[in-house]
């Protein structure tokens, strides 16, 4: 798989890594959602046109990881009753739930990023 595909697919994970607050604020979330939807539509179109590419799966990853973030965030807010904090390099006491949120999100998001393009590629080879 081309490394550029990996970087395109990691758009939302990269934003979450460096500036998680952009995924929480409404205006910036709307912009990121628009970009993710555009990449997803491009990925679907590419899947239809070019039937043997990892790129179509990689272009769908930002939308999937954004949906994963929103789902994890809603669960976190339902359980803890507040927004999750970014715990990158912040291992202060009392942030255990935030750290768990971040670790789970980044592990699941990374799994999507690694395996989804491969699954889409294999599905296209199988005739889907």
39 near 11, Cβ under 8 Å?
yes
Give the tens place of pLDDT for each residue, 67-89: 999 999 999 999 999 999 888 87
| Composition of the chain by helix, strand, coil, percent to 5 | 75, 0, 25
pTM (two decimals):
0.91
Quote the CA–CA distance of 109 and 97 in Å, as a whole number. Answer: 18
1 three-state secondary structure: coil
Quote the CA–CA distance of 74 and 10 in Å, as a whole number. Answer: 21
Closest to 58 in 3D by CA, of 98, 5, 110, 120:
5
Range with the poorest average pLDDT among 8-12, 71-75, 123-127: 123-127
Q: Binning pLDDT at 50, 70 and 90, where does residue 1 land?
A: low
């Amino acid at each position: 798989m081309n490394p550029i595909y990996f970087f395109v697919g990691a758009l939302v994970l990269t934003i979450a890594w460096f500036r998680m607050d952009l995924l929480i604020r409404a205006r910036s979330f709307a912009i990121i959602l628009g970009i993710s939807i555009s990449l997803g539509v491009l990925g679907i179109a590419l899947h239809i046109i070019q039937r043997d590419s990892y790129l179509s799966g990689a272009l769908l990853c930002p939308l999937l990881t954004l949906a994963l973030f929103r789902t994890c965030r809603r669960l976190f807010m339902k359980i803890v009753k507040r927004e999750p904090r970014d715990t990158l390099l912040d291992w202060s006491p009392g942030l255990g739930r935030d750290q768990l949120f971040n670790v789970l999100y980044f592990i699941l998001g990374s799994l999507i990023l690694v395996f989804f393009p491969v699954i889409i590629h294999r599905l296209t080879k199988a005739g889907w």
